[in-house]
Structure 1
Amino acid sequence: MRIDPTRDTGPTRTLEQALDRDCRDYRGGLKAVCAILGEPYDGFQKRLSVSYPEHHLYLDDFERVVELVRGDAVKHWFQQLYGVVCYQPAAVEASADTLREVARVMGCNGDFVESLVDGAADGQWDAQEVAQLEQQAHALIAKLMGIVAGARQALEGKAHG
């Protein structure tokens, strides 16, 4: 039985652990990552795995692996370290109805944030309030960026169609 060294390491993983975790979670695991990238399994998997600390991944290989697996662990590592928000916008039609929906969502978010004013008045935030606020913010950003992506696709379609 193999023991996964990155399982249950908590919220603070190293970047190497995060990449290892994403590769193991990728469909087919490390073997699939090596095969798709056209790298020999024996040597390359050692650079991907934290079980072999003397083997290091080159930066250009890191970029190729991250682009291929697009896993959550590396994304969460960057989010925790830099406090950034990562998202993949899904393009939606940039129509009047879509914009009305965003206005409705913004109104709901405004009402939600207004409901938090009393809770924030004492300067104490609890974990549930912060999680809800963060979820609302991410949802709003995703909707807005989806509209932007849809508008960009429509523009490119007109310019190149």
Structure 2
Amino acid sequence: MELDLFDETGKVTEEQTRLVETLLEFAGTHLDLPADTEMSVTFVDDAGIQVINRDYRGKDTPTDVISFAMEDEVEEDIAINFDLLDEKMPRNIGDIIISIDKTASQASEYGHSFDRELGFLALHGFLHLNGYDHMESKDEEEMFGLQKEILDAYGLER
């Protein structure tokens, strides 16, 4: 998987960046994603994610993680069937934005490590990029069960 990681805070350590990278690669393998799948993760502070949350979701408050799935359909969009193209194109599944400030406060609130919360948020966003959601109870059960399964198999348990 091609994974671009950006730290706009200067607070994320090399080990934490590597944790997110290896966890998402592990999750990609778990979901049988093609090797040429592409995505990005950007680490921001609360002020940065609040602007994104306000501008794209109409909620003027910081949040922990936001996912922008490339394959989400919007009414005005025209679907492109990439299988019909002559050249094989990589599958870009989208972008994840994670607030490092929220990561720290939620880790403290939930009584686990910063790394565990960072991994949880990265995986949560990743699953959204792959079509999982938790708007309905049945979907929530499936998504959260898969999150736990992947985190446990990776070794990042609560």
The structure whose residues are more often helix, as a share, is: 1
Instruction: Say whether the fold is shared (TM-score over 0.5).
Output: no
The structure whose residues are more often strand, as a share, is: 2
Q: TM-score, normalised by structure 2?
A: 0.26
* Largest Rg, 1 or 2: 1
Q: TM-score, normalised by structure 1?
A: 0.25
Larger RCO, structure (CA 8 Å, separation 6 or more): 2
